[in-house]
């Protein structure tokens, strides 16, 4: 009997050691995956930064000389002054071209200057949760990716775009979003940029609030159900509710015809709680040249 107890004790000890080893291996692999995903994102950011710097470096010396010669030529007198039409925007290279080429599931790239939010936004209409625990490369990653709600659409543009992201303790993804509870923080970080394939969309924070995912039968305002306003009444219902819920007055207003960007992450003040930042679209930035299909084939 004593011998049997000894054997059982040894077996239990071995099982415990085995569990610890297995847990260690899983944790090690998770860290490896997270590290690999971070390296991928860093490479994509570096590529975008290089393209931005190239665009902002200005015209070449050759074009500058040509412009100078043109300016020095004596223009022919015009019989009468004519109205000069505003020049059409000239499309430029998309700074996130390489990211769009690398993964066709990427719908946009979001940046909140001065914060850690600087990530691709994935859109998979057939399976909204595909990137919930996957990185940009599609491999396992606890951080997951930022996800554009499948009921949101960039082309044609819906009234409201909703982006979901994990509230990571490390600050990754939307882990820093709750800092918007502080009105001073919002004032310093009120600008949000969404780089799509077609253009740079700019936004300004209009409301910040806490909410939750309600039961289907609950007759309450559900921010996550609003995507399109076809009438002023539908628009005003969403607008008034987010303004009433907002933790403070941002000073930003909106009217029918405006577009919104809603960022949502989990918080735990209630069951299935959500922290929400809503921004209104302002004047757009650069228009972008289309992604070269030949370049896309080279990436594949």
Residues in CB range of 102: below 8 A, 6 or more apart:
44, 136, 299
Residues in CB range of 134: below 8 A, 6 or more apart:
140, 141, 144, 145
The single residue of 14, 19, 164, 266 carrying the catalytic annotation is 266
Instruction: Give Cα separations from 121 to 214, 270, 278, 296 (angstroms).
Output: 25, 27, 16, 19
The kind and range of the H/E element at 292 are none
Tell me whether residue 189 is one of the annotated catalytic residues: no
By the 8 A CB rule, do 94 and 289 touch? yes
Tell me whether residue 166 is one of the annotated catalytic residues: yes
Q: If DSSP states are collapsed to H, E and C, what string results for 45-59?
A: HHHHHHHHHHHHCCC
Please, where are the H alpha helices in 57-137?
61-72, 97-102
Question: How many Å apart are CA 15 and CA 5, to the nearest integer?
Answer: 15
The single residue of 164, 166, 186, 189 carrying the catalytic annotation is 166
For the chain, how long is the longest CA-to-CA vector? 117
User: How many Cβ atoms from other residues are within 10 Å of residue 30's Cβ?
Assistant: 13
Q: Show the CA angle centred on residue 147, arms to residues 118 and 240, nearest 5°.
A: 95
By the 8 A CB rule, do 191 and 250 touch? no
* CA trace torsion 45, 50, 51, 55 (10° rounding): 140
User: What positions carry a catalytic annotation?
Assistant: 166, 266
């Amino acid at each position: 009997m004593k011998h049997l107890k000894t054997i059982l004790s040894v077996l239990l000890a071995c099982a415990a050691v085995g569990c610890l080893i297995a847990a260690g291996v899983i944790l090690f692999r998770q860290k490896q995956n997270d590290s690999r995903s971070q390296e991928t994102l860093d490479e994509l950011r570096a590529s975008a930064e290089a393209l931005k710097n190239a665009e902002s470096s200005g015209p070449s010396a050759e074009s500058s000389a040509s412009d100078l010669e043109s300016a020095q030529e004596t223009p022919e007198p015009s019989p009468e002054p004519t109205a000069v039409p505003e020049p059409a925007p000239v499309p430029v290279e998309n700074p996130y071209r390489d990211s769009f080429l690398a993964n066709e599931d990427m719908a946009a790239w979001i940046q909140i200057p001065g914060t850690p939010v600087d990530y691709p936004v994935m859109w998979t209409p057939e399976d909204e949760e595909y990137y919930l625990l996957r990185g940009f490369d599609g491999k396992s990653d606890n951080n997951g990716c930022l996800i554009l709600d499948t009921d949101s659409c960039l082309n044609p543009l819906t009234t409201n775009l909703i982006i979901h992201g994990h509230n990571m303790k490390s600050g990754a993804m939307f882990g820093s979003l709750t800092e918007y509870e502080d009105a001073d923080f919002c004032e310093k970080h009120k600008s949000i940029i969404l780089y799509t394939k077609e253009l740079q969309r700019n936004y300004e924070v209009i409301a910040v609030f806490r909410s939750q995912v309600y039961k289907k039968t609950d007759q309450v305002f559900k921010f996550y159900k609003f995507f399109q306003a076809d009438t002023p009444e539908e628009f005003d219902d969403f607008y008034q509710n987010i303004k009433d819920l907002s933790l403070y007055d941002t000073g930003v207003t909106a009217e029918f015809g405006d577009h919104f960007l809603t960022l949502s992450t989990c918080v735990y003040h209630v069951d299935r709680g959500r922290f929400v930042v809503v921004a209104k679209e302002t004047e757009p930035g650069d228009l972008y040249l289309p992604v070269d299909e030949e370049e896309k084939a080279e990436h594949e």
